[in-house]
Structure 1
Amino acid sequence: MRRVGIDKLKKDMVLAKPIYTSNGVILLKEGTLLTEKFIDKIHDIDVDYIYIRDELSEGIEIEALISEETVLSTKKALEDSMEKMRKGYFSASQSIVEKVDAVISEVVANPHVMVSLQEIRNRDEYLHMHSINVCVISLLIGKKLNYNDAQLRHLALGAILHDVGKTQIKYDVIRYREDYVEKEYKIYKEHVRLGYEMIKSIPQSSLLAANIALTHHEHYDGTGFPLGKKNTSIHEFSRIVAVANEYDNLLYNLPKDTHMRHYEIVEMIVSRAYTWFDPEIIKIFRKSISPYPISTGVVLNDGRIGIVARLNEDFPTRPVIRIIDEDSMVAIGEVDLSVNLSTLIIDEKEIDK
């Protein structure tokens, strides 16, 4: 499979991944042959790209850290729990506690140490999918820190509910915060205290999980909010969630007309070590998230173009590239950048056949 921006969709392309509406209903199933009508439907649901299957990308697969079934069931439980918590029914959140256990089991059992985290996501489902993704990334980091079961559970619950306080704010606080005016930003900052109080009220939760909601916007250099904590006075769980939260925000929640390439997002996160983020957590993040996700089109320093076919988990910036002849638009072989050290990726590129 390969990733294609929705502005490049063409009739007769074949879907490699199903597309869902924001309420979890399948809009178009895997294997669907695109028609003009289907392309119009995809444009209507406000996604940036989809995945297709063709001869260029034959055999290229993206292995998720957790199954699609777990994502969908967790998203439904999270939607229901957040809505009931918003109304004050905190005992109803038991279902999300149970789903967290399923997510932990799948992340721990997954043998991969590096992932390509890019799913088809529309803006209407931002809060719930953001929460799940932050949970998964945080668990991957916690796993590499050799956390025990109890630690992973506290981390996962705090991560998946880190933004629950936003459900108590009437203003639109879903947008990326740098897009706010001063009044909005002041209101936005209240979500951490609101979330802290909400999580404390959940049966079978913990103060450690609640503290993640309170302090996931603290910065390593003390410039964050709400308490201005710094360095290791910020609990390690919150330092992990801070990184996962910012990564997912940059990936999926930038202002609508703003676009960053994936490697630029990773570089920005890494550049904030010692200021926003714990440098030790950043070291683990760099080894966990590929700057060039599988199925991404790229340009090499020798002018050739290709598609990221596989990751080299010991060499995050040097994946295996399927080379595409630009004249015939045919795959002509693969290059392992961990072996061919003089060859580098210099940019992403939409492969438009």
Structure 2
Amino acid sequence: MKLEIINRLEGNEVLGKNIFTNDGRVLLRAGTVLNNSYINKMRELGIFYVYVEDERLEDVEVEDENVSRLKQTTMECMSRMMKNITAVSDKKIMSDYQKIVDELIDYIATSADINKSLYDIQTNNNKTYVHSIDVCVMATFIGHAMKMDSYSVKELGLAAVMHDIGKAQLPKSLLEKEGNLTKEELNEFKEHPYIGANILKKNVRIPGTVVRAVLQHHERMDGKGYPYGLEGKSISKYARIITISDVYDTIANSGDYKKTFSPNDAYELILAGSGTIFDEEIVKVFRKSFSVYPLGCCVKLSNDVEGYVVRQNENFPDRPVIRVIYDTETRNDIEPYEIDLVESINLVVKSVV
């Protein structure tokens, strides 16, 4: 399977992963043949990349079916909760929701492969939910890598999946606005951590550590974040982890950033912000836990050859194994061959294609 930028689709490709609505229902099912009508509709929905089948890359597994099932169930619950925000204060409803989130977190922490757990397809309608769930997945991996106990990992995961709950009470026009926000709009947007924390406070069963993480997830290590301008270790550990996960997923999947899929830019931004925006020690864990280029992603190397990521090399997050399946100049198919960037030290990835 391969990850393909929407503008590279020509028609007749077979969709490799389901695309979901904002309430967890299947919008477009894996196995669907993508004609021009489907492709144009996906563009209208704000989709920038999809997974499609390719027999030359059939051994590349990009999805853990258990993770996908658990994410879908979590998305269904999130949709119900965001549409009826008063449900958060209901102990029974919130308890049932926490059990579903805990099941996802338990599986991520004990059995999941990070390389098969991220990069669900985001649309204009589902991106808030998909983003929150992927932030939860990333934060859980980081927390587990930091040797947190299982109770703390569950608290972290719950805070991560709820980190943007305050946006449910912001105007839809503000959240969907294209382009830069005015100063007044930006100030209104910056209220969402405070709003989210107040929503969660209404349920006495939600730990204060979770509420604090939601409140602080836009704080920065250098004190230039919001809403309170906290610095360093005065920001909760959960919030410091969520901040990294939030920024990475936002930049990697944001059409507003470069109108393309940009996991390498997101990765470099995290590393560049170490010690100023982000906690330096957590960035080190992030760097060891996540690869720069996802499986199935097409990249261009420094010799201008293009190929697809088929395997990751442990401890070398930016040097995967690339499979070349076509001639870069003519775009004609060739006999596939692989380049291991750990062994080919004279080559580097130049860009995502």
- TM over 0.5, shorter chain: yes
Partner of residue 23, structure 2: 23
**Counterpart Cα distance in 2 of 1:286 and 1:201:** 36
The change in CA–CA distance for 1:84 and 1:216 in structure 2 (over 3 A counts) is: same
Partner of residue 340, structure 2: 336
The AA in structure 2 aligned to 1:333 is: Y
1:28 CA displacement = 2.9
For 2:61, what is the secondary structure of its paired residue? coil
1:114 CA displacement = 5.5
**Counterpart Cα distance in 1 of 2:232 and 2:282:** 12
1:241 CA displacement = 0.6
Shifted more, 12-21 versus 36-45: the winner is 36-45
1:245 CA displacement = 1.0
The AA in structure 2 aligned to 1:57 is: L
Partner of residue 7, structure 2: 7
**Counterpart Cα distance in 1 of 2:59 and 2:139:** 29
The AA in structure 1 aligned to 2:131 is: H
Identity of aligned residues (%): 29
**Counterpart Cα distance in 1 of 2:164 and 2:333:** 45
Partner of residue 268, structure 1: 269
The AA in structure 2 aligned to 1:280 is: E
For 1:186, what is the secondary structure of its paired residue? helix
1:24 CA displacement = 2.9
1:20 CA displacement = 2.7
**Counterpart Cα distance in 1 of 2:11 and 2:190:** 45
Q: For the Cα contact (< 8 Å) 1:299–1:306, is it kept in 2? A: yes
Partner of residue 294, structure 1: 295
Matches within 5 A, 1:205-284: 205-255=206-256, 258-259=259-260, 261-284=262-285
CA RMSD of aligned residues (A): 2.4
Q: For the Cα contact (< 8 Å) 1:65–1:107, is it kept in 2? A: no
Shifted more, 290-299 versus 78-87: the winner is 78-87
**Counterpart Cα distance in 1 of 2:55 and 2:144:** 37
Residue correspondences, number: 349
The AA in structure 2 aligned to 1:345 is: V
Shifted more, 45-54 versus 204-213: the winner is 45-54
| Unaligned ranges ≥5, structure 1 | none
For 1:324, what is the secondary structure of its paired residue? strand
Q: For the Cα contact (< 8 Å) 2:5–2:261, is it kept in 1? A: no
**Counterpart Cα distance in 2 of 1:118 and 1:161:** 19
| Unaligned ranges ≥5, structure 2 | none
TM-score (norm 1): 0.91
The change in CA–CA distance for 1:248 and 1:65 in structure 2 (over 3 A counts) is: farther
Shifted more, 193-202 versus 135-144: the winner is 193-202
> CA-to-partner distance for each residue in 1:264-313, whole Å, 9 max, x for gaps?
11101211111111111111112222211111111222332211111112
Partner of residue 318, structure 1: 319
1:256 CA displacement = 7.5
The change in CA–CA distance for 1:256 and 1:281 in structure 2 (over 3 A counts) is: closer
Shifted more, 315-324 versus 254-263: the winner is 254-263
